[in-house]
Amino acid sequence: MRLLIIEDDRDATDYLVKAFREVGYVADHASDGEEGQALAMDGQYDVLIVDRMLPKRDGLSIIAALRANSVETPVLILSALGQVDDRVKGLRSGGDDYLSKPYAFSELLARVEALARRRGSRGEETVYRVADLELNRLSHEVSRAGQELQLQPREFRLLEYLMRHAGQVVTRTMLLENVWDYHFDPQTNVIDVHISRLRSKIDKGYTQPLLHTVRGAGYMIRDGAR
């Protein structure tokens, strides 16, 4: 699940990004209305979380602009206490939601998931499975053929991302963005190193390798039969 948070309060944003990441969601953020709108315009997000009051361009006008360009990503509006006016009501009828500050993260999470579900985006599995390889996102357990494996945090995120996109080639750039939160090329072989270590844990000793290198493109995890 990909989220975009458009919010100018730095602390609040950091807190949210961290919290969403902890539960395994990818959260980008924008600190003003223009930047946020530009990002959201691609329609690559499952849910947008938008502050009512923003520099450069307020939350409601962003939504209007998106809808005018037929970007139908559901939006959850954050508003200061008691600030919910009639326009917000109007928006809600469009299928979106609002939440007034202060709020509990768990509440926000619940609503975000509700929005995503309503829209039909799958609610995110708790267990990923590829052949006899299993990853449990709640307990952070990973096993192959029933054998428990010990992964490091980064390796876990890496595998989680790969398994979420099982059967698809995952590019290095995708990994940098979503597993490392790098938005630039580190010019090193970080990825290779971790792929190597991960591979030694999940594939070593098994006849059927699951983590495949796609030369020149990236990596892919899948039941190698075929």
Residues at the contact surface with DNA, assessed by CB under 7 A: 152-155, 180, 186-190, 192-197, 199-200, 213, 215-217
H or E element at residue 82: none
Which of 53, 65, 149, 174 contacts a second copy by CB under 8 A?
174
Cβ contact 202:166 at 8 Å: no
Cβ nearer to DNA, comparing 90 with 167? 167
Q: Is 80 in the site for a second copy (CB under 8 A)?
A: no
Contacts of 207 (CB under 8 A, 6+ apart): none
Pick what 196 binds: a second copy, DNA, none; C-beta below 5 to 8 Å, kind-dependent: DNA
Pick what 149 binds: DNA, a second copy, none; C-beta below 5 to 8 Å, kind-dependent: none
Q: What does the buried/exposed string (b/e) look like for 118-128 if buried means 16 or more CB atoms within 10 Å of the residue's CB? A: eeeeeebeeeb
Pick what 46 binds: DNA, a second copy, none; C-beta below 5 to 8 Å, kind-dependent: none
Which of 65, 105, 121, 199 contacts a second copy by CB under 8 A?
105
| In the complex, least distance from residue 162 CB atom to a second copy, rounded to whole angstroms | 13
Q: Is 86 in the site for a second copy (CB under 8 A)?
A: no
- Helix, strand, coil percent values for the chain (each to nearest 5): 40, 20, 40
HSE, side-chain direction, 13 A CA sphere, residue 195? 20
Length of the chain: 226
List, in sequence order, the alpha helices (H) in the chain: 10-22, 33-40, 59-68, 86-93, 105-118, 153-164, 172-178, 190-202
* 3-state DSSP assignment of residue 207: coil
Handedness of CA 32, 37, 43, 47 (dihedral sign): positive
Q: What does the buried/exposed string (b/e) look like for 75-103 if buried means 16 or more CB atoms within 10 Å of the residue's CB? A: bbbbbeeeebeeebeebeeeebbbbeeee
Q: Is 42 in the site for a second copy (CB under 8 A)?
A: yes
Cβ nearer to a second copy, comparing 22 with 70? 22
Cβ nearer to DNA, comparing 62 with 170? 170
| In the complex, least distance from residue 212 CB atom to a second copy, rounded to whole angstroms | 10
Pick what 183 binds: DNA, a second copy, none; C-beta below 5 to 8 Å, kind-dependent: a second copy
Positions in the binding site for a second copy (CB under 8 A): 11-12, 14-15, 18-19, 22-23, 28, 34-35, 38-39, 41-42, 44, 92, 97, 99-100, 102-107, 110-111, 114, 138-140, 148, 152-154, 156, 167-169, 171-174, 177-178, 183-185, 214-218, 220, 222, 226
